[in-house]
Structure 1
Amino acid sequence: MDKTYLEINKQSWDEAAHRFFGRNPLPDYGPLAPSEDELNLFGDVTNLNVLEIGCGSGHSLRYMDQRNAGELWGLDLSKKQIEAAKTVLKNCHSPVHLFESPMEDNPGLPTNHFDIIFSIYALGWTTNLDKTFANVNQYLKKGGIFIFSWEHPIYNRVSNENSTLLFNKSYHEEGSYYHEAWSEPAVMQQYKISTYINTLINNGFKIERMIEDVRLTKEDIQRDSNRWYSYEKAKALPTSVIIKSQKL
């Protein structure tokens, strides 16, 4: 992993954490994407041990608590996000364990312990996808479920210029790039769909389901549309990809 990138992103997320407090947590999977209420990928989580990779402000873990999950575990690179999550989760019924750590490292999480691991719009920040998926496999029980969502890799390859959609970069190009939307510099990763799927398979997972659908009701558009996630782009391109896999 690139320690420099991790240091850059940690500082950037500590600066930006307040902007993302409670934004698009479960049951949402991402802007203009179908929700868990519709997809039911988790099923019944009663008494299950769950871990969130990139837990942010803790609102998705609180959603798990409201659905009677067993143990709640979360890790996040940002100190500010972990502080926010501690506040959000302080009155949960379930035991809570939070770690300030990059997803590429194991900060002391138990192995073969979790029934479900999930990540909502965080996987694109990893500096080492293979190591991150290897960690997830190690944490899960045999037969455990891994669910994640992320911005669809084709979405930021296309720009909307005067109501015309144009490719601004090749879909085949992968690797690190600077995220330009924030005042503080941040480094994100670009992978193809096949890279996510093949890396999962190489790390001992089988793919159960992949979703690329969009939701363009008036309510969705009003809630999620902005200069980046726009109706014009979303009616032609998927905004998000959601993948459910199982540890073999």
Structure 2
Amino acid sequence: MTKDIKKWWNEVSKSYQIDSKIRTKSAHYGPYSPDEKKLKLLGNVKGKKILEVGCGGGQCSIAFAKQGAKCTGLDLSKEQLKHAEELAKKEKVSVKFLKHDIQTLKGIKSKEYDIVFTAFALQYIPNLTKCFKEVHRVLKRNGLFVLSLDHPFFMVIDTKTNKIKRSYFKTGKIEEIDVWPDSSKHKFVIYRRKISDIFNSLTEAKFFVEKIIEPLSKNAKSWKWEEIYPKELVKLVGPTIIFKTKKK
């Protein structure tokens, strides 16, 4: 994880949590995607040990805890974790939140978890294969690894013109400058990959890919960030992709 990503999330956390309004009734997967209650990818989590990688404001871990799971949430942003701890207290559930590098998982016990879950966090990871090997290490035998990311097809489109803005094959580190409403500028770093890159990293880390889901909720309401996820474009190309995998 780069210092730029950590800095960006510490700066944006408060406004992001206010704007996103992510609920804690069921784990979410991404923009315009049905939640876990509808997709049922994890099954009954009661009594299961779950590690959420890149937990952000903690909403998914809290949702799992409400269903009886024993959850640990990792994130690099102290501001995101502060929100997560306050929200867990408000929701009256117990979740262990840790400030941690989500690429290496150093210090996390091997073969400790039944499920590893991550939603829209891995686009900030420089080395995906390294991360997946660490996830494999901390999972129990036959453990589930369910992950969602922004859909690589959606990310090549200019949301203002609905035209392709860059090659699908242009992958790797991308740096952008975000201009906020107060005219301040903030450096934003993200890593772009093809679907095959994600799939191949999973298989290299010895995961069996059970399903690839490209969801779109028919009842989805417009998100706060209409300029990022225009509803008319979303009808053509869904912004979320999900992989359900199992440790071999």
1:29 counterpart residue number:
29
Which amino acid counterpart does residue 221 of structure 2 have in structure 1? I
How do residues 97-116 of structure 1 correspond to structure 2 at under 5 angstroms? 97-116=96-115
Deviations 1:62-121 (A, max 9, x none): 10011111x211110111111222222236776532221221122421110100010111
Alpha-carbon distance in structure 2 between the residues aligned to 1:53 and 1:84: 16
Query: Are positions 1:177 and 2:179 aligned together?
Result: no
Alpha-carbon distance in structure 1 between the residues aligned to 2:98 and 2:163: 41
Contact 2:75 2:102 in 1 (8 A): yes
1:60 counterpart residue number:
60
How do residues 74-153 of structure 1 correspond to structure 2 at under 5 angstroms? 74-90=73-89, 96-153=95-152
TM-score, scaled to structure 1: 0.89
Deviations 1:174-201 (A, max 9, x none): 1000144454212100001111111000
1:202 counterpart residue number:
204
2:44 counterpart residue number:
44
Which amino acid counterpart does residue 105 of structure 1 have in structure 2? T
The unaligned stretches of length 5 or more in structure 2 are 180-184
Contact 1:225 1:231 in 2 (8 A): no
Which deviates more from structure 2 when the two are superposed, residues 193-202 or residues 176-185? Answer: 176-185
Q: State, as a whole percentage, how many aligned pairs show the same letter.
A: 28
Which deviates more from structure 2 when the two are superposed, residues 53-62 or residues 171-180? Answer: 171-180
Alpha-carbon distance in structure 2 between the residues aligned to 1:187 and 1:18: 19
Which deviates more from structure 2 when the two are superposed, residues 196-205 or residues 27-36? Answer: 27-36
How many pairs does the alignment contain?
239
Contact 2:148 2:243 in 1 (8 A): yes
Aligned residue for 1:243, secondary structure, equals strand
Aligned residue for 1:221, secondary structure, equals coil
Distance 1:142 1:160, change over 3 A: same
| Pairwise CA distance, 1:207 | 0.5
Picking from 207, 215, 218, the partner of 2:217 is 215
Contact 2:208 2:246 in 1 (8 A): yes
